[in-house]
């Protein structure tokens, strides 16, 4: 398909995704998608990937998220979103099936978590994966974790043993639990060189933050 036609369809795609996501909880709302898009564009420039594929996939990566939030994680938003991609793009006049399939694959694998799942197989998919993970760590990752914990009624903070022994969506599902269970491992999962460079700095910020938080709540910072 003509690249100019794809570029012309992109603003309408943005409008569609914004309409679907702007009223979602702030952890996964349109602001999150915009941050992922900006990070993906940066990574694309450094790594030399197909910018249009990356932009389309970044904008669509969370379109399945409302369904997952509605049933507290039983629906996989990545699978749901990927399945919706061909229809969304067709409605915008995108008839290039190879392009649509590439975008759908990026959406499907941006949530890759284990060795048996579909891995991000292309540079574009790896960039979308890394861009999404960058928004889960560092200062923004901490902010999103506290927002989520507050939304479900979790504690502001708890001890490591309480956090790690708890279940998702429980009162102990604190921001600290999110860090211990997930966020502290993400810098090791990055798939691009630039993603790893950025993640290293954000990881160190999180470690320092939760170290200080633990000192304050246990009254060890008075000296």
CATH code assigned at 39: 1.10.3210.10
Question: What CATH number has the domain bearing residue 197?
Answer: 1.20.58.1910
Q: Based on the fold, state whether residues 37 and 66 are members of the same structural domain.
A: yes
Q: What is the pLDDT along the chain (223 residues), one digit of tens a residue?
A: 688 888 999 999 999 999 988 877 767 789 999 999 999 999 999 999 999 999 999 999 998 776 666 566 666 888 888 999 999 999 999 999 999 999 999 999 998 665 445 789 999 999 999 999 999 999 999 999 999 999 999 999 999 999 899 998 899 999 999 999 999 999 999 999 999 999 999 999 999 999 999 999 998 888 6
What pLDDT does 116 receive?
A: 44
Q: Based on the fold, state whether residues 204 and 94 are members of the same structural domain.
A: no
124 part of a folded domain: no
Q: Based on the fold, state whether residues 32 and 111 are members of the same structural domain.
A: yes
Give 184's contacts (C-beta < 8 A, 6+ positions apart).
203, 206, 207
The b-or-e profile of 53-77 (16+ CB within 10 A means b, else e) is bbbbbbbbbbbbbbebbeeeeebeb
Instruction: Please state, in angstroms and as integers, the Cα–Cα distance from residue 76 to each residue in 63, 71, 83, 179, 194, following that order.
Output: 11, 10, 11, 21, 27
Q: Based on the fold, state whether residues 106 and 157 are members of the same structural domain.
A: no
Domain encompassing residue 173: 136-223
Q: Based on the fold, state whether residues 192 and 105 are members of the same structural domain.
A: no
130 part of a folded domain: no
Q: Based on the fold, state whether residues 82 and 184 are members of the same structural domain.
A: no
206 part of a folded domain: yes
Helices (H), the chain: 3-21, 30-47, 51-60, 65-70, 77-91, 97-109, 123-134, 138-152, 160-164, 175-181, 193-217
Residue with tokens 């229809």: 87
Q: Based on the fold, state whether residues 59 and 32 are members of the same structural domain.
A: yes
User: What's the number of domains the chain is made of?
Assistant: 2
What pLDDT does 115 receive?
A: 47
Distance, CA of 183 to CA of 199 (rounded, Å) = 11
Instruction: Please state, in angstroms and as integers, the Cα–Cα distance from residue 29 to each residue in 2, 21, 32, 44, 94, following that order.
Output: 31, 5, 5, 23, 25
Q: Based on the fold, state whether residues 71 and 174 are members of the same structural domain.
A: no
123 part of a folded domain: no
129 part of a folded domain: no
Distance, CA of 135 to CA of 48 (rounded, Å) = 21
């Amino acid at each position: 398909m003509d690249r100019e036609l794809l570029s012309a369809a992109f603003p309408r795609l943005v409008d569609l995704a914004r309409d679907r996501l702007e009223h979602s909880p702030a952890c996964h709302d349109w602001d999150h998608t915009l941050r992922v898009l900006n990070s993906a564009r940066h990574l694309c420039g450094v790594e030399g990937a197909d910018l249009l594929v990356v932009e389309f996939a970044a904008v669509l990566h969370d379109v399945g998220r409302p369904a997952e939030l509605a049933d507290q994680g039983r629906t996989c938003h990545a699978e749901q979103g990927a399945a919706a991609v061909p229809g969304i793009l067709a409605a915008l006049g995108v008839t290039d099936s190879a392009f649509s399939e590439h975008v759908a694959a990026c959406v499907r694998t941006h949530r890759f978590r284990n060795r048996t799942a579909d891995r991000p197989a292309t540079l574009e998919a790896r960039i979308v994966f890394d861009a999404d993970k960058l928004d889960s760590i560092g200062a923004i990752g901490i902010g999103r974790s506290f927002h989520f914990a507050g939304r479900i009624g979790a504690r502001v903070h708890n001890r490591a043993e309480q956090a790690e022994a708890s279940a998702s969506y429980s009162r102990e599902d604190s921001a600290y639990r999110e860090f211990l269970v997930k966020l502290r491992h993400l810098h090791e999962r990055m798939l691009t060189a630039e993603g790893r460079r950025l993640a290293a700095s954000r990881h160190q910020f999180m470690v320092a933050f939760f170290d200080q938080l633990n000192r304050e709540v246990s009254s060890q910072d008075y000296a």
